[in-house]
Amino acid sequence: MSERVHQPGRSIQRGVLSIQGLCLLLLACVNAPAYGEEPAPFTDEQIEFFEKRIRPVLAESCYKCHAQDTHQRGKLTLDTRGAMLSGGISGPAVVPGNASRSLLIAAVRYGDEDLAMPPKDAGGKLPDKVIADLVRWVEMGAPSPQDDAPAAAHAYDPEKAKSWWAYQPIVPPMVPTVKNTAWPASDIDRFVLAGIEASGLEPVASADKSTLLRRIYIDLIGLPPSPQQQEEFLNNSDPRAFEQVVDQLLSQPQFGERWGRHWMDVARYAETSGKDVNLTMIEAWRYRDYVIGAFNQDKPFDDFIIEQIAGDLLKHKDEKDRVEKQIATGFLAVGPKGLNESDPRQFAVDLADEQIDAVSQAFLGMTVSCARCHDHKFDPISQADYTAVAGIFLSTQTHYGTPGGVRGRNASDLLEAPDNAGLRVLDRRMDPSIYARRKNQIDSLDKDLEVALKSRAPRQGGNAPAQPGGGAEVSGFDIVRIMTQIKQIEVELAAFNPDGSAKARYMAVSDKPTRVSADGRGQSRRNVAGPNARGRTSSGFEIIADSPLFLRGSIENEADKVPRGLPIFLAHGSTIDIPAQSSGRLELAQWIASDRNTLTSRVIVNRVWYWLFGRGLVESVDNFGSSGALPDNQQLLDYLATRFTKEGWSIKTLIREIVLSRVYQMDTRYHEANHAIDPDNHMLWRSNSRRLDAEGLRDSVLFASGRLDLDAVPGSLIARSGDGPVGGDRIQAVREETIAAAKGDFRSVYLPVARGVQPQSLAIFDFVDPSMVLGARNTTIVPPQALYLMNSDFMQEQSQAMAQRVMKEKGFDARLSLACRLTLCREPYPDEVAAVKKMGGDDLAAWTSICRALMSSADFLFVN
């Protein structure tokens, strides 16, 4: 990010144009050509594939002989991407995008005995599934986070890992004494000031009232204050004026939209499956609305945790309460899924792994999934620990509701809410006559399928297929076509009642059955299909049961089963008694949400601090393991974690305490002596200047133009598009171009969220990757952002609407005053007035350029 430098009375962002500069530039560059696109880097999903599916194989089977700290047989090194591309004596080991020319693939395929690797005395040929993963990795370009140098060697010491600070009990710290007793307004300030004074620093002054008001509005509701709200606050001399504003904002419905969006980053919320087949998940929006409601209600965070992991297993007051708690478990259902996986067993194991990863990172800040194939390389988590948790999620049925067929083999159902649950439905209908006709089509196709399957069955006493009625044999293609047609119609009808009214359905999870059902489902072994499975084999995980430990993570290589339970070390002696008829999700959730857990309260308190300051007390907000960062101020973190649990796990109470501190209210002013000692501001001697996130920027633009509609939006563009794939030249539910161009005057939280494609207004400003648990977003300042602000249709429309709004004022000075208060929440500076007057003109075109300049300026794009 560009360095922020402060001058008396105002701030300027290096690398970002000032208002004056933008005013002049816009006159010449409104129609500037777009920059050429740079080659796309590897996606987070591709890097995740390498880390989970490729690196463990290389570490287990290759690094003993082919790493930089070994004797490197054949002078081949495989522990960096660059070394693999350079290769050894025989040439490059990997040719990105071309598996047939990659020696690594030839070696693992065992086609040449002289080349075959790993050698037989080191384990022999890898399982077919692992080889397929390696081929897929090479074909996608051999993504790796290591380009030039191997990762620094990490000598893993189990005992040292157990002593890591985050695994130690939270001991309420003593509030420190400080020299400057007049400065602190709270104990938070005393913890911070003690560190500042010990480092020989001094805190900067408090922010001015206009700056502070904009900061708190953006942070709590994601919108700036109106000119009237600014005037009221600036004229309010009550010492509790700021506190009153905070309480008002915490009670507004926009608070849940702002803070619910923060949590959706962590929950990897999206409305499509992603991965190889990107299918819509049309009921995901209900989880979005649950999250927004939970933050507005200030649902205790421990309850929030339990409901998202095991809401379906909780007691409920009525049907409405039951359905709401089940919708909460959409947290486990909205993650990315490889729906085209041909092996149901592999799909089940991958789905459980994704859920383990989401739960452990979101709530514990731990990468438990790193122990899927081997013991964790950095933290005291064994593969047996991972397997104990995997059994819990393999005993869980996930209802995500995607269509089946050739491109989505692992389809799922949705749950239906009864009428007395009060669940709203989108305004969609199907004509009853069409419903009846489509139902008859299924009956007819079922008969065709029965005949087709019989025609493919071998005759008794021979291998020749039977030919019903003497007709020709039906091809396998015809069978697949019929099955796909049936599935498509079933999915279409599943959304409606026979009278054509839409059903109230939702995503959720539930426990699997405890025994095999009468229709043949619930089989405990694979390769067994029930009569309703339409030829699909069983995953072998159809009932509640413990998981076997998979050697090297391969489903082809099972060891003994591991009882469902907790990671031994992280549990610190705690055990959970999982009933035989239960998955164990409830017991797991209750352990995570316990105030005795050393991680949970620390992790969420740190997330809240990050969302308010732009930097966590622990910088690695999603990683509290030993490969993560040490806390800048552990005493403050533990103080807040202790207060948080004692105050009933209230997020609003935590936020209120933080924002009323002097630390939160400091200016962003530069201090040369402080900067020389602590240039990264670890001691919090000033506030951090932060770029508006994508949603905050778009919503602030709509607010300034006067077009923002604050009404909540039911559903989403994807929900209304229906089931099917995203993109494609033929059949699709919604095209990528439609999602990229999505717009509306509503808040950005209600825009469609798809994996692989995002609305342009969000994507260009570093919108989150919804395939990953991400508590901290990347922030970039790149030329395409400035070009979007100056040239896009959206900015042109909003700038013109804002110009029409300000031109209702009489006189140039009054118009510029309103324009600055709408965008910058302050009056214009004299040099800004002079710069704008130099532009000349007082017509709509001139004011449109002025408004666009204001909304492209550093003081608008950044929160000071």
Q: Do residues 718 and 752 touch, judged by C-beta distance below 8 A? A: yes
57-71, 185-199, 695-709: the lowest-pLDDT one: 57-71
- For 251, the enclosing helix (H) or strand (E) is none
Q: What is the DSSP letter of 464?
A: S
Q: Is the pLDDT of residue 465 over 60?
A: no
What average pLDDT does this structure show over 701-709?
97
Query: For the segment 411-454, what is each residue's pLDDT rounded down to a tens digit?
Result: 888 999 999 999 998 888 888 888 888 888 888 888 888 887 77
Q: How far apart are CA 508 and CA 495, in angstroms?
A: 16
- HSE at residue 155, side-chain half, CA atoms within 13 A, is 2
Tokens encoding 468: 């019903």
Q: Cβ distance 710 to 254 under 8 Å?
A: yes
Residue type, 351: L
Burial (Cβ within 10 Å: 0-12, 13-18, ≥19) of residue 464: exposed
How many residues appear in the chain?
Answer: 864
Using one digit for the tens of pLDDT, what is the confidence trace for 167-185?
A: 999 999 999 999 999 999 9
Hey, how many other C-beta atoms are within 10 angstroms of the C-beta on 580? 8
Burial class (CB in 10 A: 0-12, 13-18, 19+), 745: middle
Question: What pLDDT is stored for residue 494 in this prediction?
Answer: 83
Question: In this predicted structure, what is the pLDDT of residue 111?
Answer: 76
In whole angstroms, give the CA distance from residue 376 to residue 374.
Answer: 6
pLDDT at residue 732, as a whole number: 74
Mean pLDDT to the nearest integer, 173-198: 96
- For residue 525, which phi and psi values (nearest 5 degrees)? -125, 160
Instruction: Check whether 345 has a pLDDT greater than 50.
Output: yes
Q: How far apart are CA 6 and CA 4, in angstroms?
A: 7
User: Ranked by mean pLDDT, which of 64-73, 123-132, 204-213, 769-778 comes out on top?
Assistant: 204-213
Q: What is the mean pLDDT of residues 366-393?
A: 91
> Tens digits of per-residue pLDDT, 279-320?
999 999 999 999 999 999 999 999 999 999 999 999 999 999
Distance (Å, whole) CA 580 – CA 512: 12
pLDDT, average across residues 726-748? 85
Residues 6+ positions from 452 with CB-CB distance below 8 Å: 474, 478, 479, 482
Residue type, 375: D
Using an 8 Å Cβ cutoff, are 773 and 266 in contact? yes
Q: What is the mean pLDDT of the chain?
A: 86
What three-state secondary structure class fits 360? helix
3-state secondary structure at position 472: coil
Element (H, E) at 560: strand 558-562
**Among the listed ranges 179-183, 497-501, 644-648, 748-752, which one has the minimum average pLDDT value?**
497-501
Q: What is the C-alpha to C-alpha distance for residues 755 and 270, in angstroms, rounded to an integer? A: 7
For the segment 783-799, the average pLDDT, to the nearest whole number, is: 95
How far is 545 from 541, CA to CA, in rounded Å? 8
Q: What pLDDT is stored for residue 358 in this prediction?
A: 96
Is a pLDDT exceeding 60 seen at residue 149? Answer: no
pTM of this structure: 0.84
**Mean pLDDT on 754-767:** 94
Query: What was the pLDDT predicted at 16?
Result: 42
The predicted-structure confidence for 241-279, as pLDDT tens digits, reads as follows 999 999 999 999 999 999 999 999 999 999 999 888 889
Average pLDDT over residues 843-853: 95
Residue 155: pLDDT over 60: no
Token pair for 614 = 């732009």
pLDDT at 35 over 50: no
Q: Are 31 and 791 in contact (CB under 8 A)?
A: yes
pLDDT higher than 90, residue 698:
yes
Confidence of residue 68 (pLDDT cuts 50, 70, 90): low
* 801 within 8 A of 705, measured Cβ to Cβ: yes
Per-residue pLDDT averaged across 104-126, rounded? 79
What's residue 43's pLDDT?
75
| Tens of pLDDT, residues 678-692 | 999 999 999 999 999
Which residue type sits at 301?
A: F
Q: Apex CA 174: angle with CA 171 and CA 175, to 5°? A: 130
- 522: its two tokens: 């619930």
Please determine, for residue 728, whether its predicted confidence score (pLDDT) is greater than 80. no
Residue 153 has pLDDT above 60, yes or no: no
pLDDT at 644 over 90: yes
Q: Where are the beta strands (DSSP E) in 368-414?
A: 396-399
Helix, strand or coil, per DSSP, at residue 547: strand
What percent of the chain lies above the pLDDT cut of 90?
Answer: 59
The region of weakest confidence among 229-233, 701-705, 735-739, 799-803 is: 735-739
Coil, helix or strand at residue 489? helix
Q: Is 508 helix (H, G, I), strand (E, B) or coil?
A: strand
Half-sphere exposure of 568 (CA within 13 A, CB side): 10
Task: Classify residue 480 by burial, with Cβ atoms within 10 Å: 0-12, 13-18, 19+.
Answer: middle
Amino acid in position 79: D
Q: What confidence score (pLDDT) does residue 223 get?
A: 98
Q: Is the pLDDT of residue 26 over 60?
A: no
Residue 5 — pLDDT band, cuts 50, 70, 90?
very low
Geometric angle at alpha carbon 90, from 88 and 95, rounded to 5°: 80
Q: pLDDT-derived band of residue 625, with 50, 70 and 90 as boundaries?
A: very high
> How large is the average pLDDT for residues 93-121?
82
Report the alpha-carbon distance of residue 495 to residue 92 in Å, rounded: 53
Asked if pLDDT for residue 9 goes beyond 90, the answer is no
Range 333-351 average pLDDT? 92
